[in-house]
Amino acid sequence: MRKLLKYLKRYKLQSILAPLFKLLEAGFELFVPLVVSGIIDNGINGGEGGRYIVNMCLVLVALGVVGLISAISAQYFAAKAAVGFSKELRHDLFDKMQSLSYADIDRIGTPKMITRMTSDVNQIQSGVNLVLRLFMRSPFIVFGAMIMAFALDAISGVVFAVTIAVLFIVVFAIILSSIPLYKRVQGKLDDVTAATRETLTGVRVLRAFCKEEEEISKYNKRNASLTKSQIVVGRISALMNPLTYAIINVAIIALLYVGAIKIDSGNLSQGNVVALYNYMSQILVELIKLANLIITVTKSFACAGRVNEILETPIVKTSISDNSATGGHFIEFSNVCVNYGDAEIDALSDISFTAERGQTIGVIGGTGSGKTTLVNMLPHFYDASSGSVSIDGKNVNLIDDGALRAKCGIVPQRAVLFKGTIRDNMLWGKNDASDEEIYSAISSAQAEDIIKSKADGLDEAVEQGGKNFSGGQRQRLTIARAIVKKPEILILDDSASALDYATDANLRKSLKELDYCPTVFIVSQRTSSIKHADKIIVLDGGKMVGIGTHDELLKTCPIYNEIHFSQYEKESV
């Protein structure tokens, strides 16, 4: 939590003013008994008469008005600070999430990240709000009462001190033992969130397998387990009020006992005892407030801890292992090996090749042969564990990721469109693209018919994930999105798989005709998609088993040969 306090910095003024106004309000409240005693002593008993009483009652109302104004100011400043705090926290959290590595994203998981961003931040927000409103007021009254008690009578003051100490111990024991339990509740809530999400993303498959009832019973188990841990925490929190109530009343008994003895020996007056009794009663009200405050704050602390975990995920910046000058090629891989974390087998091992501007490079190989990893090295999505990747003679580790990725147009395997319009999606490639540029990219991507078939053309709405477009349509639109960018390097990661042969062929033809001549990497399963490439890289189990043109590879590379003829019967070639 302390680490998150920096988010209050910009709201320093509000964070100071809110409790101050609250204090002011409490102060005005303290005047009320004085005024009332005035009414009794001077008005009724002192004979100052009705006029005095009316005036004093007007003073009471005036105190109320002043109190109201301070309270409203306090609430405003507290809300302002709390809301501003959570705004900046959410901003940083979102920013941080966007900078996480893929490995971290997989490890943390989307549902957890969403919970952190939403309910956790909300919980922290209400914690901050409550703290600003109460953390000055409640202790002010509690300790103020204790000091007053000491002033009246030392032994009674000790009773107060002991009572407050015991109360704090009990309150904190309850709170501390409930923190881990709240964490567990949150973990179970994450499970329930995940189950809800999964049932939505997998709705077709689940229904195809008639798993509705099974899903429900599985969900019910998780839900029941959540309820159970909630009730366990609730049981502990439920002790708070009865225990504090008991302690206070025992303290009052002690106070009255001490008082009775003192009065008996003539050291204390009845009025003093009444005052002590009133102070003790006041403590209870404020202490309950304080305890509730502490509970909310505890929850907020648990949430803050989890949020902080994400904020403090280290961003791994690799040291540059190799900085050798290269031989003037546009793209050069030299002895590149890649290992994801601690896998036994390298995802890529010892890959070396070069590519020039305007060339088309085909990448082919079986599932898990490392094709995607290879092209993901170009925008520096992964780090080489040894060897180097360089673009324009510069090691990619030395190039700013943003600048590097600006050069690359990437069409990922999974065709994802974002909520908005088709135009919005196209502008992902280039912020200020004109309609002309967009149309030309769309036509290169063979997606003109999609735009034509939509009533609103470029302004046709796209639902989340592009659910209102078919797989093939999404693929062509994601290709267009990458082309709008006019990248120096265009990467098509098996992104024509849902296209029919005719469209695929036309697409390749139009890519060749792009006037800015990008270097094109085509990852594919089909030899027909890459056979006209200037260079074809054949991968098998992370190793390069062949490189060359289609005709060369047919002669020299048995794996390529096998792939090719599995798709074309020999006689038809």
Q: Is the dihedral of CA 416, 420, 425, 431 positive or negative?
A: negative
Question: CB under 8 A: which stretch of 7-15, 186-194, 513-521, 542-550 binds other proteins?
Answer: 186-194
Question: CB under 8 A: which stretch of 33-41, 170-178, 323-331, 355-363 binds other proteins?
Answer: 33-41
When the beta carbons of 388 and 473 are compared against other proteins, the nearer one is 473
Shortest gap between Cβ of 517 and other proteins (angstroms)?
17
Shortest gap between Cβ of 293 and other proteins (angstroms)?
13
Question: CB under 8 A: which stretch of 112-120, 152-160, 309-317, 331-339 binds other proteins?
Answer: 112-120
When the beta carbons of 58 and 323 are compared against other proteins, the nearer one is 58
* Binders of other proteins in range 131-170 (CB under 8 A): 133
Among 165, 169, 203, 398, binds other proteins (CB under 8 A): 203
Among 135, 143, 150, 277, binds other proteins (CB under 8 A): 277
Gap between the Cα atoms of 529 and 522, Å rounded: 8
Gap between the Cα atoms of 57 and 150, Å rounded: 32
Contact call for residue 532 and other proteins (CB under 8 A): yes
Instruction: Look at residue 537 and give its three-state secondary structure.
Output: strand
| 136, 22 contact by CB (below 8 A) | yes
When the beta carbons of 71 and 326 are compared against other proteins, the nearer one is 71
Return the closest-CA partner of residue 373 out of 336, 406, 403. 336
When the beta carbons of 334 and 389 are compared against other proteins, the nearer one is 389
Contact call for residue 226 and other proteins (CB under 8 A): yes
Largest CA-CA distance found in the chain, in angstroms, rounded:
124
Gap between the Cα atoms of 37 and 235, Å rounded: 44
| Residue 205 burial class via C-beta count within 10 angstroms: exposed 0-12, middle 13-18, buried 19 and up | exposed
Gap between the Cα atoms of 216 and 207, Å rounded: 12
Return the closest-CA partner of residue 440 out of 513, 378, 508. 513
Beta strand ranges found along 417-528 (DSSP E): 420-421, 461-462, 489-493, 519-524
Which amino acid is present at 357?
A: R
Return the closest-CA partner of residue 350 out of 364, 362, 334. 334
Among 127, 365, 542, 546, binds other proteins (CB under 8 A): 365
When the beta carbons of 334 and 339 are compared against other proteins, the nearer one is 339
Gap between the Cα atoms of 515 and 519, Å rounded: 12
When the beta carbons of 141 and 408 are compared against other proteins, the nearer one is 408
Q: Strand 408-411 and strand 489-493: pairing?
A: parallel
Among 253, 320, 398, 517, binds other proteins (CB under 8 A): 253
Contact call for residue 509 and other proteins (CB under 8 A): yes
Gap between the Cα atoms of 261 and 252, Å rounded: 14
Which amino acid is present at 557?
A: C
When the beta carbons of 334 and 491 are compared against other proteins, the nearer one is 491
Question: CB under 8 A: which stretch of 1-9, 56-64, 169-177, 323-331 binds other proteins?
Answer: 56-64
Question: CB under 8 A: which stretch of 6-14, 107-115, 159-167, 386-394 binds other proteins?
Answer: 107-115
Contact call for residue 362 and other proteins (CB under 8 A): no
Shortest gap between Cβ of 496 and other proteins (angstroms)?
9
Q: Which residues of 51-71 are buried (b: 16+ CB within 10 A; e: fewer)?
A: ebbeebeebeeebeeebeebb
Contact call for residue 472 and other proteins (CB under 8 A): yes
Instruction: Look at residue 320 and give its three-state secondary structure.
Output: coil
When the beta carbons of 259 and 546 are compared against other proteins, the nearer one is 259
Q: Is the dihedral of CA 7, 11, 17, 22 positive or negative?
A: negative
Gap between the Cα atoms of 53 and 57, Å rounded: 6
Question: CB under 8 A: which stretch of 1-9, 171-179, 358-366, 382-390 binds other proteins?
Answer: 358-366
Gap between the Cα atoms of 2 and 117, Å rounded: 19
Contact call for residue 30 and other proteins (CB under 8 A): no
Among 6, 245, 321, 461, binds other proteins (CB under 8 A): 245
Question: CB under 8 A: which stretch of 163-171, 237-245, 349-357, 542-550 binds other proteins?
Answer: 237-245
- Residues 405-434 as x/- pattern, contact with other proteins by CB under 8 A: xx-x-x-xxx-x-xx--------xx-x---
Among 2, 204, 317, 570, binds other proteins (CB under 8 A): 204
* Binders of other proteins in range 547-566 (CB under 8 A): 562-563, 566
Contacts within 8 Å (CB) and 24+ apart, 434-437? 437/484
Shortest gap between Cβ of 67 and other proteins (angstroms)?
7
Query: What is the spatial order of strands in the sheet that 394-395 belongs to?
Result: 348-355, 331-338, 386-391, 394-395
| 281, 145 contact by CB (below 8 A) | no
Among 368, 386, 448, 549, binds other proteins (CB under 8 A): 368
- Residues 296-335 as x/- pattern, contact with other proteins by CB under 8 A: ----------------------------------------
Shortest gap between Cβ of 90 and other proteins (angstroms)?
6
Q: What is the DSSP letter of 241?
A: H
Contact call for residue 60 and other proteins (CB under 8 A): yes
In the beta sheet, which residues pair with residue 332?
A: 354, 390
Gap between the Cα atoms of 140 and 540, Å rounded: 73
Contact call for residue 251 and other proteins (CB under 8 A): no
When the beta carbons of 380 and 535 are compared against other proteins, the nearer one is 380
Contact call for residue 72 and other proteins (CB under 8 A): yes
Shortest gap between Cβ of 51 and other proteins (angstroms)?
10
Among 30, 34, 102, 352, binds other proteins (CB under 8 A): 102
| 218, 212 contact by CB (below 8 A) | no
Contact call for residue 402 and other proteins (CB under 8 A): yes
Contact call for residue 227 and other proteins (CB under 8 A): yes
Among 455, 513, 551, 571, binds other proteins (CB under 8 A): 455
